[in-house]
């Protein structure tokens, strides 16, 4: 590979202990939905329903990571990336969501872990990245309080089989996104709607997060345990008190609702009154069981949102003003490109006393890439990553703690309701041939990490 244009950034500026990695998720890359005894997940079902995914895309093959994982692990090594974050598909190892275990599923993840370790790459496991076993959804999924026990049993299986070699664990990925999109808005699996489904799911997912973390701690005393949150810098559209209050409610919903109970602060009901409805689902010891002393918190930040007050929007009384309406530069997801958001988010989460360590477990961008003469010149993505790394340096200079950065993501993949339209990868995938091409951003990252 040729050397690529470099910026003034240098890996050493971040310190020797800074963690560099790349993140993925099972459903977005694996394909093989029913191979070797895998059960169906809510996303297998959702993607098979008409009109749910743009252009009718599905994830039956996705990036074929199930079969081509060795090739992709070789690429991670080629890019000099020392840490690989991936998720376990719950229905691959427990097809109905509960025991018995599917030995072929366990064998599959053992192969991945062993292959990573022999390539000198550290495995980072996310236990839940949205692909709940469908059979559990039939029983209510996350709206059923039993989901905490189902999840606990699944975590116990994972730590028992993988805990001898894997030290880095993340319990749940972006709870605010999958409960909001999947249980309130109905635009993600399982396609449920309404405040009751949402609040029940929120509480059970939070209980499951700490229950899962405790199980990891008990089985693997030296585990490095985290959980990951989507977070967005929120700004009011104007300085009017209405907009400022609206922005505060949106900030509470998107950034505070899931982390604060885990830090022992309870749900932020004072700043978002609809959360008081949660009290109907909180029983006896729940408040004591909601907190856990995580070794690290994973933050996943892509953009900022600008908010105005709107009486038309129930529960939150606020509206996001889209990047398009604001006429600002945005990605293929319609998200504004605004690197200072990362600095602001770091500042915000650094202010919580209970957080021991922060790792940026996702950051990246979807742009329309074109493959020309065997190359993808995705300079916008390269700059996006560089500009966000600059913000991390600024944060460090200002004394804010941040200990790692994982790019979202390795290869272009199945971007949920957006299908394959939104390409986030450092590596381009031709979804007809599964041909991989390292993009300019990937080559830059490789040079940077060398
Ligand atoms: O693709 C997703 C990922 O699954 C969770 N975090 C945000 C990414 C980009 O939308």
pLDDT given for residue 287 in this prediction: 87
Per-residue pLDDT, averaged over 107-126, amounts to: 98
| Neighbouring residues of 141: CB distance < 8 A, sequence distance ≥ 6 | 42, 132, 147, 183, 190, 192, 201
**Residue 5: pLDDT band by 50, 70, 90 thresholds?**
low
Q: Residue 279: pLDDT above 80?
A: yes
What are the tens digits of pLDDT across the range 214-228? 999 999 999 999 999
* Ligand 1 atom with minimal separation from the 408 CA: 8
pLDDT given for residue 189 in this prediction: 98
Question: What is the C-alpha separation between 448 and 450, in angstroms, rounded?
Answer: 6
| Neighbouring residues of 304: CB distance < 8 A, sequence distance ≥ 6 | 232, 233, 234, 235, 336, 338, 340, 341, 344
Question: What is the C-alpha separation between 146 and 98, in angstroms, rounded?
Answer: 11
What are the tens digits of pLDDT across the range 410-437? 999 999 999 999 999 999 999 999 999 9
Percent of the chain with pLDDT over 90: 97
Long-range contacts of 100-103 (CB under 8 A, 24+ apart): 101/157, 102/36, 102/37, 102/38, 102/39
Q: Please give the torsion angle defined by the CA atoms of residues 162, 178, 101 and 167, in that order, rounded to the nearest 10 degrees.
A: 10
> Mean pLDDT score of the chain, rounded to an integer?
97
Question: What is the C-alpha separation between 21 and 92, in angstroms, rounded?
Answer: 25
Most informative mutation of 362, 381, 420 for ligand 1 (most atoms within 8 A of CB)? 362
What are the tens digits of pLDDT across the range 141-170? 999 999 999 999 999 999 999 999 999 999
What are the tens digits of pLDDT across the range 170-212? 999 999 999 999 999 999 999 999 999 999 999 999 999 999 9
Quick check: bond before 409 cis, omega within 30? yes
**Residue 311: pLDDT band by 50, 70, 90 thresholds?**
very high
* Three-state DSSP class for residue 146: coil
- Quick check: is 174 catalytic? yes
Closest residue (by CA) to atom 10 of ligand 1? 415
Q: Secondary structure of 359-382 in the HEC alphabet?
A: EEEECCCCCCCCEECCEECCHHHH
pLDDT given for residue 2 in this prediction: 44
Closest residue (by CA) to atom 9 of ligand 1? 415
Active-site residue, from 362, 390, 415, 418? 362
Domains and CATH numbers, the chain: 11-235+259-304+333-449 (3.20.20.80)
Question: What is the C-alpha separation between 141 and 71, in angstroms, rounded?
Answer: 35
Neighbours of 48 (CB within 10 A): 13
- Quick check: is 353 catalytic? no
pLDDT given for residue 228 in this prediction: 98
Could you tell me if residue 439 is left (phi over 0), alpha (psi between -120 and 50 degrees) or otherwise beta?
beta
**Residue 1: pLDDT band by 50, 70, 90 thresholds?**
very low
Active-site residue, from 30, 174, 305, 336? 174
DSSP state of 239: S
Nearest Cα residue to 114 out of 81, 69, 157: 69
Nearest Cα residue to 251 out of 270, 273, 271: 271
Question: What is the C-alpha separation between 175 and 206, in angstroms, rounded?
Answer: 8
Q: pTM of this prediction?
A: 0.97
Element (H, E) at 118: helix 103-118
* Ligand 1 atom with minimal separation from the 415 CA: 1
Half-sphere exposure (Cβ direction) of 105: Cα atoms closer than 13 Å: 27
DSSP letters of 92-110? HHSTTSSSSP-HHHHHHHH
| Neighbouring residues of 313: CB distance < 8 A, sequence distance ≥ 6 | 319
Per-residue pLDDT, averaged over 7-19, amounts to: 94
Instruction: Give the binding-site residues of ligand 1, using a 6 Å CB cut-off.
Output: 25, 28, 174, 300, 362, 408, 415
Q: Which residues of 304-319 are buried (b: 16+ CB within 10 A; e: fewer)?
A: bbbbbbeeeeeebbbb
Most informative mutation of 170, 330, 341, 409 for ligand 1 (most atoms within 8 A of CB)? 409
Closest residue (by CA) to atom 4 of ligand 1? 25
Q: Residue 6: pLDDT above 60?
A: no
Nearest Cα residue to 374 out of 420, 313, 436: 436
């Amino acid at each position: 590979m040729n050397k690529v244009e470099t910026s003034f950034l240098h890996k050493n500026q971040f310190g020797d202990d800074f963690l560099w990695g790349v993140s993925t998720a099972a459903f977005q890359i694996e394909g093989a939905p029913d191979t070797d005894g895998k059960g169906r997940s809510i996303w297998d079902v959702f993607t098979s329903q008409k009109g749910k995914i743009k252009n009718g895309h599905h994830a039956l093959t996705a990036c074929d990571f199930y079969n081509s994982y060795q090739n992709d692990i070789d690429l991670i090594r080629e890019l000099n990336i020392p840490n690989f974050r991936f998720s376990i598909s719950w229905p691959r190892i427990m097809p109905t969501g509960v025991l018995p275990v599917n030995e072929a599923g366990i064998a599959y993840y053992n192969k991945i872990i062993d292959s990573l370790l022999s390539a000198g790459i550290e495995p980072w496991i996310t236990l839940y990245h949205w692909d709940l076993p469908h059979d559990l959804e039939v029983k209510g999924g996350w709206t059923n309080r039993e989901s905490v026990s189902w999840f606990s049993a699944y975590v116990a299986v994972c730590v028992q089989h993988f805990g001898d070699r894997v030290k880095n664990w993340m319990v749940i990925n972006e709870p605010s996104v999958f409960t909001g999109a999947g249980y309130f808005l109905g635009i993600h699996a399982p396609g449920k709607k309404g405040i009751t489904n949402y609040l029940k799911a929120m509480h059970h997912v939070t209980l499951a997060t700490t229950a899962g973390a405790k199980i990891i701690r008990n089985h693997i005393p030296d585990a490095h345990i985290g959980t990951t949150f989507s977070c967005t810098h929120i700004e009011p559209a104007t300085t009017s008190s209405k907009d400022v209050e609206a922005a505060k409610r949106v900030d509470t919903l998107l950034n505070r609702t899931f982390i604060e109970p885990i830090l022992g602060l309870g749900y932020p009901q004072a700043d978002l009154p609809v959360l008081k409805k949660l009290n109907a689902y909180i029983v006896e010891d729940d408040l004591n069981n909601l907190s856990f002393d995580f070794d690290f918190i994973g933050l996943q930040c892509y953009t900022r949102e600008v908010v105005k007050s709107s009486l038309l929007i129930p529960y939150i009384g606020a509206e996001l003003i889209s990047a398009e309406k604001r006429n600002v530069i945005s990605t293929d997801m319609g998200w504004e490109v605004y690197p200072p958001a990362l600095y602001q988010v770091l500042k915000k989460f650094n202010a919580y006393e209970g957080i021991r360590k922060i790792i940026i477990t996702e950051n990246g961008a979807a742009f329309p890439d074109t493959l020309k003469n065997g190359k993808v010149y995705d300079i916008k993505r390269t700059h996006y990553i560089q500009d966000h790394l600059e913000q991390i340096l600024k944060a460090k200079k200002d004394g804010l703690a941040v200990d790692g950065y994982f790019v979202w993501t390795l290869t272009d993949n199945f971007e949920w309701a957006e299908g394959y339209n939104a390409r986030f990868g450092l590596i381009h995938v031709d979804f007809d041939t599964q041909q991989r091409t390292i993009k300019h951003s990937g080559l830059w990252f490789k040079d940077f990490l060398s």
